[in-house]
């Protein structure tokens, strides 16, 4: 391909290279500060909406909204998107069974840990995490595109790539580059792929032809705000991350606030509710990139009894190369316990009793909570819980087991 002679030609060639690399969306913006976004995020920090994420400080927000500070001499942003949605194979939502425990104690067997009709008790995984870890897929593509920029624009070119883990606000980069607009659910809504898009960006010292920002908005729709089970969406683009299931099940370490546990349903990693109800996601997902297919990763749902039985090596082997390693073993088993409690199916009792012996206190605590949701429990289960309580030293686990006493110890 001939060397570009104008900014327009260079931009066209970079966009063509991005598409060849597999990006579905590409646009360009000047590397101006994200003034509006900075104001919004700083206000959220002031209100304490990110208080569980100590790394989100005002200084870090200002840096994340300032392309020039992230790459001195930056002139342009290349905003990029890869669609990740795959069609659902099967969906299950929690349906509480009739009260009356019948699970019995003892280690899980092949049929225990299975719900109605012998199906495994399933915990849902957010769509973005069904397949292989997107960082591993997207970063090499960004590096290749940066190399291409340097080839085309000259060796003095400097680039910096961002895929989620870097400090740049990727949503702002995408909106400024015309890939989509800000939804009230805080996602970027793109025309062709809704919000089911991995966003990434390159900052570059090269001048590129900017794309216009989209002049769209959500209008009078409030479907996402109305549907959020934890009331984490407080208004348009206003998210209290501390209440969001995605934060609680992925980033949050330690105990999940008790009052929020029942609202988590059977989400075991992330939450898609505010995206599932969005009219911009109404088109049936097509499964564009095989790398993100559920067969290559954790899949759309996890067998809760299996997760609760994983030791450290088993956890590593099961989730290596997927985003599900992020909450670490303790976090994922904690989430599986909460989901099992919310499913309300006594078939989970053996796996939860097993989790009461887990070396991680946070797992034992949430298993004890989950067992309470399955009551009234059979006498042998209560006796097993009492046996655990006698030796339990962790105050939070003891407190949960005490709650079981309040509910009717034998």
257 touching ligand SF4, by CB under 6 A: no
224 touching ligand SF4, by CB under 6 A: yes
230 touching ligand SF4, by CB under 6 A: yes
265 touching ligand SF4, by CB under 6 A: no
Interface with ligand SF4 by CB under 6 A: which range of 50-58, 64-72, 163-171, 278-286? 278-286
Nearer CB in complex with ligand SF4: 128/134: 128
What is the rounded distance in angstroms from the CA atom of residue 267 to the CA atom of residue 122?
A: 9
The tokens for 387 are 């046996």
127 touching ligand SF4, by CB under 6 A: no
What is the rounded distance in angstroms from the CA atom of residue 81 to the CA atom of residue 128?
A: 13
Q: What DSSP character marks residue 121?
A: P
**Phi, psi for 60 (deg, rounded to 5):** -70, -35
Interface with ligand SF4 by CB under 6 A: which range of 68-76, 253-261, 268-276, 297-305? 268-276
245 touching ligand SF4, by CB under 6 A: yes
Nearer CB in complex with ligand SF4: 246/397: 246
Q: Give the footprint of ligand SF4 on residues 155-194 (CB under 6 A).
A: 183-185
Q: Is 164 a catalytic residue?
A: yes
**Phi, psi for 340 (deg, rounded to 5):** -65, -40
Report the length, in residues, of the chain.
Answer: 410
Nearer CB in complex with ligand SF4: 188/368: 188
Q: Report the residue from 280, 292, 315, 319 that binds ligand SF4 according to the rule CB under 6 A.
A: 280
Q: Report the residue from 209, 222, 372, 403 that binds ligand SF4 according to the rule CB under 6 A.
A: 222
Interface with ligand SF4 by CB under 6 A: which range of 12-20, 143-151, 273-281, 298-306? 273-281
Nearer CB in complex with ligand SF4: 331/350: 331
Q: Is residue 209 classed as helix, strand or coil in its secondary structure?
A: coil
Shortest Cβ 68–ligand SF4 spacing (Å): 31
395 touching ligand SF4, by CB under 6 A: no
What is the rounded distance in angstroms from the CA atom of residue 194 to the CA atom of residue 117?
A: 35
- The whole-angstrom distance between residue 409's C-alpha and the CA centroid of its chain comes to 38
Count of beta carbons in the 10 Å neighbourhood of residue 369: 26
How many residues bind ligand SF4 (CB under 6 A)? The answer is 23
268 touching ligand SF4, by CB under 6 A: no
258: left (phi over 0), alpha (psi -120 to 50) or beta: alpha
What is the rounded distance in angstroms from the CA atom of residue 262 to the CA atom of residue 159?
A: 46
Shortest Cβ 184–ligand SF4 spacing (Å): 4
Q: Report the residue from 145, 163, 232, 397 that binds ligand SF4 according to the rule CB under 6 A.
A: 232
Shortest Cβ 342–ligand SF4 spacing (Å): 14
Q: Report the residue from 63, 213, 277, 399 that binds ligand SF4 according to the rule CB under 6 A.
A: 277
CA angle 235/240/242 to nearest 5° reads 160
What is the rounded distance in angstroms from the CA atom of residue 234 to the CA atom of residue 256?
A: 20
Q: Is residue 51 classed as helix, strand or coil in its secondary structure?
A: coil
Q: Point out the catalytic residue in the list 88, 133, 136, 164.
A: 164
Q: What DSSP character marks residue 3?
A: P
Nearer CB in complex with ligand SF4: 225/381: 225
CA distances in angstroms from 219 to 179, 216, 223, listed in the order given: 18, 8, 11
Q: Is the dihedral of CA 318, 322, 327, 328 positive or negative?
A: positive
Q: Report the residue from 129, 246, 349, 355 that binds ligand SF4 according to the rule CB under 6 A.
A: 246
Nearer CB in complex with ligand SF4: 162/247: 247
| CB of 213 closer than 8 Å to CB of 178 | yes
| CB of 77 closer than 8 Å to CB of 208 | no
Locate the DSSP E strands across 19-58. Answer: 25-30
Q: Report the residue from 218, 288, 355, 397 that binds ligand SF4 according to the rule CB under 6 A.
A: 218
Q: Point out which residues bind ligand SF4 (CB under 6 A).
A: 183-185, 218, 221-224, 228, 230, 232-233, 239, 244-246, 271, 273-274, 277-280
List active site positions.
Answer: 164
């Amino acid at each position: 391909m001939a060397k570009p002679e104008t900014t327009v030609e260079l931009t066209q060639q970079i966009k063509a290279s991005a598409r060849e690399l597999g990006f579905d969306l590409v646009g360009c913006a000047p590397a101006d500060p994200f003034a509006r976004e900075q104001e919004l995020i700083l206000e959220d920090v002031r209100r304490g909406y990110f208080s569980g994420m100590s790394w989100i400080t005002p200084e870090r927000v200002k840096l994340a909204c300032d392309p020039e500070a992230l790459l001195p001499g930056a002139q342009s942003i290349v905003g990029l998107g890869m669609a990740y949605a795959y069609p659902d194979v099967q969906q299950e939502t929690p349906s509480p069974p009739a009260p009356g425990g019948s699970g019995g104690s003892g280690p899980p067997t092949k049929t225990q840990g299975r719900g109605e009709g012998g199906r495994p008790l399933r915990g849902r995984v957010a769509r973005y995490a069904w397949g292989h870890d997107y960082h591993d897929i997207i970063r090499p593509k960004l590096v290749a595109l940066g190399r291409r920029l340097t080839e085309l624009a000259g060796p003095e070119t400097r680039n910096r790539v961002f895929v989620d883990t870097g400090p740049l606000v990727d949503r702002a980069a995408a909106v400024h580059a015309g890939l989509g607009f800000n939804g009230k659910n805080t996602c970027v809504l793109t025309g062709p792929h809704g919000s089911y898009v991995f966003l990434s960006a390159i900052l570059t010292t090269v001048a590129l032809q900017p794309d216009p920002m989209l002049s769209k908005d959500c209008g009078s729709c409030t479907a996402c705000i109305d549907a959020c089970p934890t009331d984490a969406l407080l208004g348009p683009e206003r998210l209290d991350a501390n209440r969001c299931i995605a934060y609680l099940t992925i980033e949050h370490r330690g105990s999940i606030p008790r009052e929020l546990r029942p609202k988590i349903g059977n989400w075991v990693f992330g939450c898609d509710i505010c995206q599932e109800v969005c009219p911009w996601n109404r088109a049936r997902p097509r499964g564009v990139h095989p790398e993100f297919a559920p067969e290559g990763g954790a899949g759309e749902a996890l067998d809760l009894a299996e997760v609760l039985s994983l030791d450290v090596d088993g956890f590593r082997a099961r989730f290596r190369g997927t985003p599900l390693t992020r909450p670490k073993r303790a976090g994922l088993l904690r989430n599986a316990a909460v989901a099992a409690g919310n499913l309300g199916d006594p078939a989970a009792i053996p796996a939860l009793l097993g989790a009461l012996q887990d070396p991680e206190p946070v797992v034992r605590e949430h298993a004890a909570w989950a067992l309470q949701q399955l009551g009234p429990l059979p006498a042998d289960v209560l006796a097993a819980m009492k046996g655990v309580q006698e030796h339990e030293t962790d105050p939070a686990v003891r407190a949960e087991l005490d709650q079981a006493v309040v509910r009717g110890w034998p």
